[in-house]
Structures are given as C-alpha cells and as structure tokens.
Amino acid sequence: MNEKVCCLIIGSGPAGYTAAIYASRANLNPVLYEGIQPGGQLTTTTDIENFPGYPDGVTGTELMENLKKQATRFGADIRTGTVTAADLKSTPKRITIDGEKVVEADTVIISTGASAKYLGLPDETKYAGMGVSACATCDGFFYRKKVVAVVGGGDTACEEAIYLANLASKVYMIVRKPFLRASKVMQDRVMTNEKIEVLFECNTLGLFGENGVEGAHLVRRQGEADEEKFDIAIDGFFLAIGHQPNTGVFSEQLELDEVGYIKTIPGTPKTNIEGVFAAGDVADPVYRQAITAAGTGCQAAIEVERYLLERK
C-alpha cells in the first residue's frame, strides 16, 4: 500500500532542513528523505564562518546536525532514502524511494542541491577539507596572505580568482586552453590584477603535501613535443569548473535551464508544475551559499502552506 503525505521534502542540507522546520511548525507533518549525502555538501566542509549566529564559526557537520535536530524537534519525519523515480504531474505526486516504496504527496519540495565538478584526481579526495575546495566564498578567508590556485577559465573561475586575490598573497589560474572563456570584462579584470598569474595550456597532474596541500604537479602543453612538467607551491587548490545540479530524476518533467538548474518563477520557489517547489542550490546557479539555501527553504515551506490552504 502506498503511503500518503501532505508535504514531501526531497534532499537535506540547509534548504531541505529549513523547509522541514517551517513545514513542521505549520502542522504540515512533512516527510524528508535525506538522499545519498545526508546534510548535503556542507558535511564535506570543515569550518563555516559566514553563517549568521555562529560568531566563533561552526563545522559543516555540526551546523547540519543542529538544523536536523531543530526540524525533528518540531515533528519532521526525517528518513534515509533516495528518490529513484518521480511522477510530478500526477495528482497526488508519486515519488519512488530506493526503487521500491512509493510515496504519494500533495506537495513536493525539491532540495537536492548541486554537486561541484572535480577533475577526478585521487588527490582531490585525499586533501578534501585540507586545501581542496570548490567554493572560494566559503573557504577563501582561511587563505589570507597565502598562495592559492584556481582551476578553470570561465566567468566563475575569474570571479573566484578576483575574490581570492583580495585575500591571498598570490593567485594562480590553471587554464587548460590557451585563452580564457570568460566575458571580456572578467578577462580584463584578471589580466590587470597584479596578484593573479594565469598559467595557460596547463593541466593538473596531482597535488602534494604532508598535512595538507603544499603544491601542485602541473603539465604545460600535455602530449605536445614541447610538453613541460613543473610544480607550483600553493596552500589552497580551488575548483571552479562548474556545478552539476542534481536534477536527473526530474529532468523530463520540470523546466530546467541549459545547465540543468530548476527554473522557478522569479522571486518565488514555484516551478512550472503546480504543487512542486524548488529550494537551495538545485535552483540557484548564482549564489550557492548555505544562508541563501536556507532562505529559499523557508520560502518553499510557506508557499506549500499557501498552496494547500488555497486548495482547501
């Protein structure tokens, strides 16, 4: 027999847990499935110093645990499980969990997040939280007056390099191509910044260091006759080659942008399907911060409450 719920939240992290807090306090008895990474991306981050209310900082794991406890305290039913299929256009919505259980929901909040793209080097895992990061805004503060490298040549990479240049003593940009893909204005800002050195036609072979990142092994013009291998000394290694929104299971039903982020009605968490809302990084290609994700989680829960009241 299928289970019937009023509000189903898919995905954890700041957006999902905040939505659960608000939906619980509105007596909507939300059910939340945490997905493959309970707590979301922040559980892979060591210290968070820019989330309001934590003057001394907090670990990503602790912040997520606190949000989860708060949601549970108000009655949210938080479960382990991953969505493997979804029929969002039916009434009620039909969501399949782990290929077996079907949950029927009057409303659905999707907060499945977006995963940073990595190069696929074993060293990226080895030094996770020890010098490797995919968010300059989150972690740049820890590299004040240090040397860092940014991988990528698009607008995001240029933005991250410029941001880091305000904190670090030097910023390398490791760019595969012989040019930057970024807009002209971003290119100009990078090329005129004295702290930024662009390493064109370079690939990263690996990272090294005893108790954290101390440097990177690079190769210039890989596979060419004049191929050159060399090392650079760095304290931090930032990935800026894009994010992949976790929207695969919904892609044929929801309206997505060209990258795969869920499109919402501007200023709201409403999707193109009535009763389906999106919160957090899964619908945010711009900010991707814990605090903005939490804010949209709040919005989504309030919109769910309004939607259900209107239907009554």
Q: Which residues are catalytic?
A: 135, 138-139
Burial of 111 (0-12, 13-18, 19+ CB in 10 A): buried
| Residue 110 C-beta-side C-alpha neighbours within 13 Å | 34
Cα-to-chain-centroid distance, residue 303: 23
Task: Collect all residues with Cβ–Cβ distance below 8 Å to 134 and sequence separation of at least 6.
Answer: 116, 118, 238, 239, 240, 243
Distances 267 to 93, 212, 228, 296, 299 between C-alpha atoms, Å: 24, 41, 50, 10, 10
Q: What is the separation of C-alpha 271 from the centre of its chain, rounded to a whole number of angstroms?
A: 19
What does the DSSP 8-state code read for residue 128? B
Tally of CA atoms within 13 A in the half-sphere of 255 that contains its CB = 10
Block residue for tokens 């309970």: 38
Distance between CA atoms of residues 261 and 257, nearest Å: 5
Q: Are 119 and 287 in contact (CB under 8 A)?
A: no
* Contact indicator for 198, 191 with CB cutoff of 8 Å: yes
Structure-token match 């820019």, residue found:
50
Query: Is the Cβ–Cβ distance between 217 and 123 less than 8 Å?
Result: no
